[in-house]
Amino acid sequence: MPHIDPKRLLNSLSEMAKIGGTQKGGVCRLAATAEDKTARDLFASWAKTENCEISIDQIGNIFARRPGKNNNLAPVVLGSHLDSQPTGGKFDGAYGVLAALEVIRCLNDSGIETGRPVEAVSWTNEEGSRFPPAMMGSGVFSGSLNLEKALSTQDINGISMSDALDAINYAGEHLCGNRTIHTYLEAHIEQGPILERENTTIGVVLGIQGIRWFDIIIQGREAHAGPTPMPARNDALIAASDLILQIEDIALQHAPDGRTTVGTVGIHPNSRNVIPGQVKLGIDMRHPDAGVLSTMKKELQAVFEKMRKERGVKGNIDEIWYSPPTIFDAETVDAIEAMATLRQYTCRRITSGAGHDAKYMADICPTAMIFIPCDEGLSHNEAENAKDAHLVAGAQVLLDVALARAGLLNADR
């Protein structure tokens, strides 16, 4: 059975990490920026060197296809994303894309002909940081997100996803989705503390928790910071501060799994001596249980109304995205566990706290994920790091499961 080439995988990861590399050792490669383009171009050029056919679809997803014996068969697809958070880490997403490329490299080295084609994919805009929502490219591919709506999404500077993809020359022609996929597999760092804490090499991912995103606008009234007496103020930022602590409390009331984050705050006019007239909040809410997550949503609406009345401000709350909790295909989960065990890697079943493209792929084909530990469980942070041995182990399991799914017809050795 073929083996991952540790040096080649680790070199590719460090090459890729230079693109958008930051002083603190992380990466900043926001979706459809010049840095994202450079990373995409590098991935595509490496895949071309492996004689893969490259196709780009209408939302910019990149597929690198290695033909199989029967190219009419649905492919086994492996991958993740190359875009990052503004202060992202060098493994979030890039690891899954380059582990997928390493699988293709190993198949080529071994002269293995698989029954099915094998494809490595880099999904567009998994992070949803510049253009909400997250997992946009895989969401459109799977048919859950509307292509036109996704392409018309604008960033804070009013640039649309469509114009941004055009600008980096990744507005592809291929129709999004509308083709059958046999299996989707994604290798990813856990981005949480469990595997490291338990000194376990492989996380056999059972599914992904539910996610809801909200935009909140709070409308007060601008006024002069000097002459305006405190009781006469309609300060949108004070009202927002009151609300933010109550949003934290919603998660605490649903401990240990409830999560709420206010990740973005926009203040208008954002001038020291003007009482803030308007505040915009971006909220991320998560829970593994769909029922609890909808209760948390109702609680958010209730505290928002209460704050609005008490503070005498106007405003609204808008849910912009809902990603229901996802359960991965049991057989594929079992296959990952079996291969990890065969390789004598320690492994344990785990649910993902982070969203992934596998969430949308699970809606259209048998899907599962392979986690590896990351230092202190830290991610969406420039200090994100993972051990070489774990990076190699995760890619090895990916190779083994991909081969099992793609059908191993022959091997030189």
291 vs 298: CA distance, rounded Å: 11
Give the gyration radius of the chain's Cα atoms: 23
For residue 355, state whether it binds ligand HGY (rule: CB under 6 A): yes
For residue 99, state whether it binds ligand HGY (rule: CB under 6 A): no
Q: Which is nearer to ligand HGY, 136 or 313 (CB)?
A: 136
How far does CA 251 lie from the centroid of its chain? 22
366 vs 214: CA distance, rounded Å: 30
Q: What are phi and psi of 227, to 5 degrees?
A: -75, -15
Per partner kind, with CB cut-offs from 5 to 8 A, the member of ligand HGY, Mn ion, none near residue 355 is ligand HGY
Q: What are phi and psi of 219, to 5 degrees?
A: -110, 110
Least Å distance, CB 190 to ligand HGY, is 12
Which amino acid is it at 60? G
Q: Which is nearer to ligand HGY, 134 or 406 (CB)?
A: 134
Cβ-proximal residue to ligand HGY, closest one: 355
Q: What are phi and psi of 216, to 5 degrees?
A: -120, 135
For residue 400, state whether it binds ligand HGY (rule: CB under 6 A): no
b/e sequence 42-70, b meaning 16+ C-beta within 10 Å = bbbebbeeeebeeebbbbbbbbbbbbbee
Per partner kind, with CB cut-offs from 5 to 8 A, the member of Mn ion, ligand HGY, none near residue 190 is none
343 neighbors 397 (Cβ within 8 angstroms): yes
**Cα 341 to Cα 201, 321, 338, distances in angstroms:** 11, 37, 5
Stretch that binds ligand HGY, among 45-53, 127-135, 359-367, 381-389 (CB under 6 A): 127-135
For residue 20, state whether it binds ligand HGY (rule: CB under 6 A): no
Q: Which is nearer to Mn ion, 92 or 102 (CB)?
A: 92
For residue 89, state whether it binds Mn ion (rule: CB under 5 A): no
Q: Which of 411, 399, 373 is nearest to 91 (CA)?
A: 373
**Cα 392 to Cα 4, 316, 371, distances in angstroms:** 7, 48, 12
For residue 354, state whether it binds ligand HGY (rule: CB under 6 A): yes
| Pairing of β 76-81 and β 183-189 | parallel
Least Å distance, CB 387 to Mn ion, is 18
For residue 127, state whether it binds ligand HGY (rule: CB under 6 A): yes
Residue 224 per-residue DSSP state: B
Per partner kind, with CB cut-offs from 5 to 8 A, the member of ligand HGY, Mn ion, none near residue 357 is none
Stretch that binds ligand HGY, among 113-121, 123-131, 270-278, 333-341 (CB under 6 A): 123-131
Q: Which of 16, 134, 236, 237 binds ligand HGY (CB under 6 A)?
A: 134
Per partner kind, with CB cut-offs from 5 to 8 A, the member of Mn ion, ligand HGY, none near residue 243 is none
Q: Which chain residues interact with Mn ion by CB under 5 A? A: 92-93
Q: Which chain residues interact with ligand HGY by CB under 6 A? A: 126-128, 134, 354-355
